[in-house]
């Protein structure tokens, strides 16, 4: 079960364009703070701050490799596939329930020209 708090912090974390760009970069593979800071013209502390928000939201994880601490997308935290599929499903279900109604209306009010078929 996904907790609402977790979802809230994930959405909050994703609301920032720099953080979305960081995720886009990490989707291509893990990277260190230094590597992440480079394309953003931001200081490393600023990037670290963004990473902390992403880590707190469970979207990014880090591992230790000697003195390096590369970050990667946290698949367990994101579960973006599951959430996306769930969002898609609920949006489609809502859409198709409405479509049922649209189709029923079409049936009862056929096109003016050429009759029902």
Partner 1 sequence: MSKLKLETQGDRYVVVTRQFAATPEALYRAHTDPKLIQQWMLGPDGWTMPVCICDARPGGKMRFEWASSGQAGFFLTGEFIELTPYRRIVHVERMHLPDPTPDNHVETTFEANGSGTLMTMRMTLPNAATRAAMLATGMEGGMEASFARLETLI
Which of 19, 15, 5, 7 minimizes the C-alpha distance to 80? 7
CA distance 35 to 65: 15
Site string for partner 1, 17-36 (x = CB under 8 A): ---x--xx--x---------
Which of 34, 55, 31, 32 minimizes the C-alpha distance to 44? 34
Site string for partner 1, 66-105 (x = CB under 8 A): -------x----x-xx-xxxxxxxxxxxxxx-xxxxxxx-
Site residues (vs partner 1, CB under 8 A): 1-2, 4, 7, 10-11, 14-15, 20, 23-24, 27, 59, 73, 78, 80-81, 83-96, 98-104, 106-107, 117
């Amino acid at each position: 079960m996904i907790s609402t708090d977790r979802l809230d912090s994930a959405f909050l974390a994703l609301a920032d364009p720099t953080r979305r760009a960081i995720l886009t970069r990490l989707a291509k593979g893990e990277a260190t703070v230094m590597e992440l800071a480079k394309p953003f013209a931001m200081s490393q502390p600023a990037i670290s701050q963004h990473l902390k928000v992403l880590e707190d939201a469970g979207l990014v994880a880090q591992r230790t490799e000697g003195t390096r601490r590369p970050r990667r997308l946290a698949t367990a935290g994101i579960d973006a596939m599951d959430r996306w599929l769930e969002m898609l499903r609920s949006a489609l279900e809502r859409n198709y329930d409405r479509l049922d109604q649209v189709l029923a209306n079409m049936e009862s009010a056929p096109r003016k020209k050429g009759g029902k078929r």
